[in-house]
Amino acid sequence: MREFQFSFGGRLMTQSNLIQQIAAARHQSESLFALLKPKALWERPISQRHRFIFYLGHLDAFDAIQICREALGLKSPDPELDALFQTGIDPDSSHLPQDKESDWPTPLQVRAYAQRCRARVDENIHRAPYEAICMALEHRQMHLETLAYMLHNSPYELKNVPRLPEENHTNGRTSCQEWRDVPEGVAVLGKARDGAFGWDNEYEQAQTFVAGFRMQRHKVTNGEYLRFVQDGAPLPHFWIQRGDKLLYRGMFGEIPLPLDWPVYVTQLEAEAYANWLGKKLPSEAQFHRAAYGDPSDRRFYPWGDAAPQRHHGNFDFARWDPEPVDATPGGDSLFGISQLVSNGWEWTCTPFAPFPGFEPHPAYPGYSANFFDNQHYVLKGASPRTAARLLRPSFRNWFRRDYPYLYATFRCVEN
Ligand SMILES: [Fe+2]
């Protein structure tokens, strides 16, 4: 057995610790599938994504491909199923997938295949390299979030509601917006090759000078965005009009629009709102300045170096839905800015592009490089369904700017 240890965000990671995290993530992915009624496996709640049945095979297929085939060079007993379940899709809306239910194996066959993948992973994981284990773990954790979007966008009658429903934490009024100064300085983007795991797009580390700017202390709320809607903007995807009532599309039911929750929008909607206000969306570098400060006083999280806890923010599966934008001042950054890494990803105005020195990962060359197309934009931060591991400063998320399904919000800057 090759044993290794790394320090990660103030915590020591050992190989057995990672294996425990994989077990926990498997348990979480199974709980998500358990929220689906059986017939829902054939559903495709987001037209640009695969049907649920794909993900039932994909998570364990990916682990076996990365750990057994790519890292350890083992031959797979299921090469055809591996090819079917290897990668997700992200077409633009004019090239939507056309597959039929009958193109897929039965749920019984998919579960049996996933079980074979998992058994091979468990047999070999103890001799797998650190990087392959981390890749499998974080890949599954990212899917815990994308599966949550898919569930969120599924009709309520296809979901089993958990026995303990979530409390709708809201004060029922629009929170007060404030502005904070972020002085000029150097932003540190990306990640040094220090041995701790990162995805290919996090490298290399890059420093860039950022002029002083002002940033909204809080994320833009539903209540603030409502004024834009009253001025003629269309309703965001997570809002529903029923008669004269405006409702929020919650994970397990519609609720009166919580005015103090961050508004979930596309990047196009965020940009239109910023223009309407006479402001801008922050760049990726501005986000880094606001969240992590100077290289001389750099912190791992906006609040400092302490491991993420509930009072720092709404992340790591704390809730299904957001909470008020002023609920967690304990997570404020050095400059007094709230929830930068919590309660919804934040859109930037920066197209997703490689940092200087980028190299695609040989075992997964398309992970990022396929999306450097000026059609995808960088999001930073974290949503209620983002695993704590992914809260590291160099982690980057990216989506098409008109994609309305994810837990993405924004705040404005003044340059
Ligand atoms: Fe995937």
Cα(61) to centroid of ligand 1, in Å?
A: 9
Alpha-carbon span 412 to 178, nearest angstrom: 11
Alpha-carbon span 400 to 160, nearest angstrom: 30
Query: Do residues 82 and 167 lie in contact, with contact meaning Cβ atoms separated by under 8 Å?
Result: no
Mark the residues whose beta carbon lies below 5 A from ion ligand 1: 88
Residue 275 or residue 92, greater confidence: 275
Tens digits of residue pLDDT in 35-64: 999 999 999 999 989 999 999 999 999 999
Cα(55) to centroid of ligand 1, in Å?
A: 8
Alpha-carbon span 402 to 253, nearest angstrom: 24
Cα(57) to centroid of ligand 1, in Å?
A: 10
Cα(401) to centroid of ligand 1, in Å?
A: 20
Cα(289) to centroid of ligand 1, in Å?
A: 30
* CA 212, chain centre distance (Å): 28
Cα(66) to centroid of ligand 1, in Å?
A: 11
Cα(41) to centroid of ligand 1, in Å?
A: 17
Name the pLDDT band for 1 (thresholds 50, 70, 90).
very low
Cα(300) to centroid of ligand 1, in Å?
A: 27
Name the pLDDT band for 10 (thresholds 50, 70, 90).
very low
Alpha-carbon span 259 to 262, nearest angstrom: 8
Contacts 24+ apart (CB under 8 A), 326-333: 326/175, 326/176, 326/218, 326/260, 327/169, 330/303, 331/301, 331/302, 331/303, 332/302, 332/303, 333/290, 333/291, 333/292, 333/293, 333/302, 333/303
Mean pLDDT for the stretch of residues 183-189 = 95
Cα(88) to centroid of ligand 1, in Å?
A: 5
Cα(81) to centroid of ligand 1, in Å?
A: 15
Q: What's the pLDDT at 44?
A: 92
Cα(63) to centroid of ligand 1, in Å?
A: 10
Cα(139) to centroid of ligand 1, in Å?
A: 6
Alpha-carbon span 102 to 19, nearest angstrom: 36
Say whether pLDDT at 164 is over 90. no
Q: Return the minimum-mean-pLDDT range out of 262-271, 296-305, 320-329.
A: 296-305
Mean pLDDT for the stretch of residues 185-209 = 94
Q: What's the pLDDT at 143?
A: 97
Torsion of CA 61, 66, 68, 71, to 10 degrees: 170
pLDDT exceeding 90 applies to what percent of the chain? 85
Mean pLDDT for the stretch of residues 289-311 = 92
Contacts 24+ apart (CB under 8 A), 67-74: 67/121, 67/124, 67/125, 67/128, 67/132, 67/133, 67/136, 68/120, 68/121, 68/124, 70/132, 70/363, 70/364, 71/128, 71/129, 71/131, 71/132, 71/363, 72/124, 72/127, 72/128, 72/132, 74/120, 74/124
Query: Do residues 293 and 334 lie in contact, with contact meaning Cβ atoms separated by under 8 Å?
Result: yes
Cα(272) to centroid of ligand 1, in Å?
A: 31
Cα(350) to centroid of ligand 1, in Å?
A: 24
Cα(45) to centroid of ligand 1, in Å?
A: 17
Say whether pLDDT at 11 is over 60. no
Tens digits of residue pLDDT in 254-299: 999 999 999 999 999 999 999 999 999 999 999 999 999 988 878 8
Mean pLDDT for the stretch of residues 300-317 = 96
Residue 180 or residue 16, greater confidence: 180
Cα(329) to centroid of ligand 1, in Å?
A: 34
Q: Which residues, 6+ apart, have CB-to-CB distance to 262 below 8 Å?
A: 219, 220, 221, 222, 322, 325, 339, 343, 344, 409
Mean pLDDT for the stretch of residues 62-72 = 96
pTM comes to 0.95
Cα(87) to centroid of ligand 1, in Å?
A: 6
Q: Which residues, 6+ apart, have CB-to-CB distance to 276 below 8 Å?
A: 228, 231, 233
Alpha-carbon span 365 to 199, nearest angstrom: 11
Cα(400) to centroid of ligand 1, in Å?
A: 17
Tens digits of residue pLDDT in 356-381: 999 999 989 999 999 999 999 999 99
In this structure, what token pair is assigned to residue 33? 């599938």
Name the pLDDT band for 182 (thresholds 50, 70, 90).
very high
Tens digits of residue pLDDT in 388-405: 999 999 999 999 999 999
Name the pLDDT band for 9 (thresholds 50, 70, 90).
low
Write the single-letter amino acid at 180: R
Cα(54) to centroid of ligand 1, in Å?
A: 10
Q: What's the pLDDT at 4?
A: 53
pLDDT exceeding 70 applies to what percent of the chain? 97
Q: What's the pLDDT at 13?
A: 63
Hunting for tokens 């206000």 — which residue is that? 277
Cα(143) to centroid of ligand 1, in Å?
A: 7
Count of other CB atoms within 10 angstroms of residue 90: 15
Cα(399) to centroid of ligand 1, in Å?
A: 14
Average pLDDT, the chain: 93
Tens digits of residue pLDDT in 144-157: 999 999 999 999 99
Q: Is 334 left (phi over 0), alpha (psi -120 to 50) or beta?
A: alpha
Q: Return the minimum-mean-pLDDT range out of 128-132, 215-219, 338-342.
A: 128-132
Say whether pLDDT at 2 is over 80. no
Name the pLDDT band for 195 (thresholds 50, 70, 90).
confident
